[in-house]
Chains A and B, each alone.
Chain A
Amino acid sequence: MTFQANVSDAMSDATSNAATGPASAKEPEMMLAVEHVSLSFGGVKAITDISFDIHKGEIRAIIGPNGAGKTSMLNVINGFYHPQEGTIYWQGKVRRRMKPHEAAKSGIARTFQNVALFKGMSTLDNVMTGRGLKMKSNFFWQCIHKGPALCEENEHRAKVEEIIDFLEIQHIRNKPVGKLPYGLQKRVELARALAMEPDLLLLDEPMAGMNLEEKEDMSRFIIETNQRYGTTIALIEHDMGVVMDLSDRVVVLDYGKKIGDGPPAEVQANQEVIDAYLGVSH
């Protein structure tokens, strides 16, 4: 029963975290809330009547077995899918139906389960692309590449270098990302998302397919991002040890329904969650 071993392990960590965690400080401010959201593709119900919220500055984990609707949920949040029912509140206001690039503009960044980097470009260019929304110089100056365009380019380069330093990917700065090992690609993807300076960062399985050392590195980066930049993070992850250690609150989905929500310790004790993960005899 490795799961239960993890559970008891993580539980002690979680309780010690809870005392110092940012969310527990005072009355939390709402970053995003979904209320009674349902999403279906034809007859397939991906998400059924799910409500949860994400507080400002917290790390919120979304867990659940395969096919539970976790990624669909992220896709709803960043505007890629449009739910048939339900409301999404973004920073206190009802959010109208929006396209992905509009969601990006409003401050939502994300990484993907299967790495979605721009393979033909170098690490530096990938991260620079993440700054695109903040760059304003017009077409004319871009053609000459002098004056405002060059200033802007250098300004953002400085910011990008800061992120590259932060994630310790200096040595691969000029390498094409297609040739990098998987763990580094994941890190570059995080760098690209961070370059947007998002308010809310969605991480879809940031640690999938990594070894222990890479997982530890990635966990460190996630916590540091949260603490240093104050970025609110929502993450999907299957490694329970990581989830329980990192997150302030956890929401559990199964077959498109919410079956648990609360601090890690509480979720672990939830019988329904245990059943969903371990299975029950019928």
Chain B
Amino acid sequence: MFYRETGQFKTNYSDDRAIFPIAQDRYGIMILLAIAFFVIPFTVDDYWGNAIFLPLLIYALIAMGLNVLVGYCGQISLGTAAFMAVGSYASFKLMTSFPGLDFSIVVLMSGLITAVVGSLFGLPSLRIKGFYLAVATLAAQFFIIWLVNKVEWFYNYSATGQINAPERTALMFPVTGPNAPILYKYFFCLIIVVLAALVTKNIVRGRIGRQWMAIRDMDIAAELIGVRPLTTKLSAFAVSSFLIGMGGALYFGVWLGAAEPTEAFGIDQSFLILFMIIVGGLGTILGSFLGAAFLWLFPIAFKNFMVDGLGLSTAMSEHLQIILMGGLIIFFLIVEPHGLARLWQITKEKLRIWPFPH
């Protein structure tokens, strides 16, 4: 009843290909952004910021990066955590080598460095496809983690092998280090994530995005209508790694503050992010956010409910949560194999004609 596009006419192609062509969607996203920018920052405390909003934004960014590669270009990767590690170590080296450098520039440059490394590991995709490529990207996962563990230069010869984020500022506001206020951290991540989402959406709805999807859906036909497999696949790897690298820099610099390679960038991180985009919806920007929200928020909500609400022990709740999480993922995939984003889309289509069934 409220969600009708009746009377909304498009008189030119630009309007027709807007990101949100329906006015209700536009208002919805504006309200959401207004809440994110003007309500949350001023009500958030340290716990909510550090446990909920920061990781949510950062995981959404990383999931978006992986979604570009897997969801849009159809190249399976299991090396996400390794590329996060590249972003993190790049930001660490940049922060410690150039102490005066603004952190926003550090994040961008970490993204660029990761894009280069990602394209390099994307080269096998020109020859191998599907599961075999997935195994090839596992090589990145193990090799990069081994490398940053082994070569002391990467962690500045510290005795523990850990990397710690020093205090750095973005436009004079402190955003990294233990004393940075949560407000600044949140705003910094929010701005980067919103901009990244906008740019990614723009890329995927233009020529480059269509070529990625062409390669994903039918690579031979794509080649025969003039899509170059080399540049198309490598550009997907580069854009994907760029986003993941920026995410990695935020993950280590802003959120964790300290990282130890095998723990922070283990293969379970790679899988977590892959699950996020599968549950959220492959090939949609929205899906990256929904998937990140579901896989990050659900365990926290469940734990709070079990421990504080029902008074169970932490270990007990942890085990129950693993069981329930696995069950829920299977449930969602059976109900809608195309993920939460498709579920949302179906809901919208139903709402358009509500209260009639057809």
Contacts and interface: CB of A to CB of B under 8 A. Distances in A.
Contacts of A129: 210-211, 213-214, 222, 225, 227
Contacts of A128: 210
Contacts of B283: 120
A179 interface: no
Contacts of A153: 13, 17, 206-207
A125 to B, nearest CB: 6
Interface in B219-266: 220-229, 235
Nearest to B224: A100
Interface stretch (B55-63, B197-205, B295-303, B313-321): B197-205
B14 A121 contact: no
A139 B218 contact: no
B13 A110 contact: no
B208 interface: yes
B268 interface: no
B222 A142 contact: no
A143 B229 CA distance: 20
A137 B221 CA distance: 23
Contacts of B221: 112, 116-118
B224 A119 contact: no
Nearest to B206: A142
B12 interface: yes
A145 B214 contact: no
Contacts of B205: 145
A180 B216 CA distance: 19
Nearest to A79: B224
Interface in A145-179: 145, 149-150, 153-154, 157-158
Contact of A104 (B208, B213, B226): B226
Interface in B8-51: 12-14, 17
Contact of B225 (A80, A104, A135, A158): A104
A226 to B, nearest CB: 20
Interface residues of B, number: 30
B320 to A, nearest CB: 37
Contacts of B227: 101, 129, 132
Nearest to A193: B225
Contacts of A118: 213-214, 216-218, 221-222
Contacts of A119: 217-218
A130 B235 CA distance: 19
A104 B210 CA distance: 17
Interface string B173-205: 000000000000000000000000001001101
A135 B13 CA distance: 16
Interface in A95-146: 99-101, 103-105, 109-110, 112, 116-121, 125, 128-130, 132-133, 135, 137, 139, 142-145
B207 A132 contact: yes
A145 B226 contact: no
B225 A154 contact: no
A135 B210 CA distance: 12
B224 A121 contact: no
Contacts of B229: 101
A179 B205 CA distance: 21
A196 interface: yes
Contact of B226 (A121, A132, A143): A132
B213 A125 contact: yes
A236 to B, nearest CB: 15
Contacts of A154: 12-14
B210 A125 contact: yes
Name which of B199, B208, B211 has the most chain A CB atoms within 10 A of its CB.
Answer: B208
5 contacts: A100-B220, A100-B224, A129-B227, A137-B206, A143-B203
Closest 5 pairs (CB-CB, A-B): A104-B226, A145-B202, A118-B217, A116-B221, A133-B226
Given A104-B223, A118-B213, A129-B222, 13 more contacts: A101-B223, A104-B224, A109-B224, A118-B214, A121-B213, A129-B213, A133-B225, A139-B235, A142-B207, A145-B206, A153-B17, A154-B12, A193-B225
